[in-house]
Amino acid sequence: MVKTLRYSIETLHSNLFYLLLVNLTIFFLTYTQIILIKAIWNKKKIADGTNRNAAYMAFALMTFIVTAINVLVYNKYIELIDKRLMLMNIFITSAYFILTMAVYRVYSNLVVNEQENKQLRVYINMADELIDEYRRVRHNTYNIIQAASAFIEENDMEGLKEHFSSVIERQRRIEKSNIASLYKIAHPGVKSLLSSKLGRIEALSLNLNLEITTDLREVKVNISDLCEILGVFLDNSIEASGLTKEKYIEICMFEDDQYYITIIKNSYDPNHGKKGNGIGLRTVNSILRKYGLMLNNTIIEEKYYIQELIIKKFN
């Protein structure tokens, strides 16, 4: 005689409550297993969205397996099982599967909303930096006008000409080196971020070397994540280079057949602490763990600190 939780098939055949109890027990054990597996994965800090999706798909797959086992059992003991009990079990299993899909759909929507909110925060931060840049430009313009008015009051036309010539020449150099390079970037978010950081670099009178030869058009990384990483690297580099006599910062963005490569190099003073403790690096590491196609190399060469961000292309 076949036994199930101390009850025979005949008992299940005659009592709907026992059949319901058996099915609920099976599903409870399955759900408990999934919770345990998920807890183990969380302890391992698996942050990749693909892995999270795989976990939920595994949950659905196990539900399907339980359903298949039930079907096989019914097929083997079809003559002993009442048709009403079989239909009830199929209904419960189907409802469980539909509930699983509904939970997964809600989870997916939450992930999308989280990404949208994150991207919105990045754009708000960039907007704040652009406002600061506008204030800086207004302040510089005021200083230029004040200096010009002093030359006019002294009736020093030659000095006035030299003053405006130096201002125009400096602006031409900035536009030639910075703006032309920024126009190559296809993504407005990245372009806006770099524009605001370049304004800050100019305000601090840092020595900048900028070289951009890629448009990042086909980069397979969420732009908000990329902007957040670049923002952290640039903020730390600007801060560190501003504390040195050389005040040097270099930004290079290029690509080859397999990778998009960004190099941010700056002068730094070892006496001002370890650069590895810079602001936001923990956030950068958490973002990098989400992607298997991004690699970050940190290099120290004498008095220079270098951050390399390498993004693999999909061929």
Same domain, 278 and 193: yes
**226 and 111 in one domain?**
no
Highest mean pLDDT of the ranges 149-163, 186-200, 206-220 = 206-220
What domain range includes position 38?
3-116
Q: How many CB atoms lie within 10 A of CB 63?
A: 22
Q: Return the pLDDT at 173.
A: 61
Six token digits for residue 214? 């890629």
168 in the same domain as 112: no
Which of the residue ranges 13-22, 101-110, 123-132, 306-315 would you say has the lowest mean pLDDT? Answer: 13-22
Q: Is the pLDDT of residue 44 over 50?
A: no
pLDDT at site 155? 83
Q: Domain containing 259 — which CATH number?
A: 3.30.565.10
What is the pLDDT, as a whole number, of residue 3?
46
Q: Is 279 domain-assigned?
A: yes
**Residue-level pLDDT at 250:** 93
On whether residue 69 sits in a domain, the answer given is yes
**Which of 4-13, 124-133, 279-288 is most confident?**
279-288
Residue 117: enclosing H or E segment and its boundaries?
A: helix 83-153
pLDDT confidence bin for 39, thresholds 50/70/90: low
- Range of weakest confidence among 44-58, 129-143, 146-160: 44-58
Dihedral of the CA atoms 266, 270, 273, 275 (nearest 10)?
30
Q: Are 11 and 17 in contact (CB under 8 A)?
A: no
Output the six-digit token pair for 1: 């005689």
Average pLDDT score, the chain: 74
Q: Is residue 149 part of a domain?
A: no
DSSP 39-74: HHHHHTT---HHHHHHHHHHHHHHHHHHHHHHHHHH
Structure-model confidence comparison of residues 68 and 278, the more confident one? 68
Q: Given the DSSP bridges, would you call strands 207-212 and 248-255 parallel, antiparallel or unpaired?
A: parallel
At residue 146, the pLDDT reads 79
Of the residues 53, 84, 116, the one at which a domain ends: 116
| Residue 180 banded pLDDT, cuts 50, 70, 90 | low
State the pLDDT confidence band at 307, using cuts at 50, 70 and 90.
Answer: very high
The average pLDDT across 165-175 equals: 69
Q: Is residue 15 pLDDT above 60, yes or no?
A: no
Given a cut of 50, is residue 276 above it in pLDDT? no
Identify which has the larger pLDDT, 259 or 52.
Answer: 259
The predicted pLDDT at position 201 comes to 85
pTM of the model: 0.54
Q: What is the mean pLDDT of residues 6-13?
A: 49
**Residue 221 gets which letter from DSSP?**
S
Please compute the mean of the pLDDT values over residues 182-200 and round it to a whole number: 82
Same domain, 168 and 278: yes
Indicate whether 105 and 211 sit together in one domain: no
Residue 137 in any domain: the answer is: no
> Do the beta carbons of residue 97 and residue 63 sit within 8 Å?
yes
How many domains is the chain built from? 2
Structural contact between residues 200 and 133, judged by C-beta atoms closer than 8 angstroms: yes
Q: Which residue has the higher pLDDT, 160 or 260?
A: 260
- For 162, phi then psi, to 5°, come to -65, -40
Would you state the pLDDT for residue 82?
62
What is the rounded (10 degree) CA torsion for 34, 38, 40, 44?
Answer: 160
What is the rounded average pLDDT of the residues 227-248? Answer: 92
pLDDT at 306 over 60: yes
Based on the domain organization, do 177 and 301 belong to the same domain? yes
What is the arithmetic mean of pLDDT over 233-261? 92
Q: Are 103 and 166 in contact (CB under 8 A)?
A: no
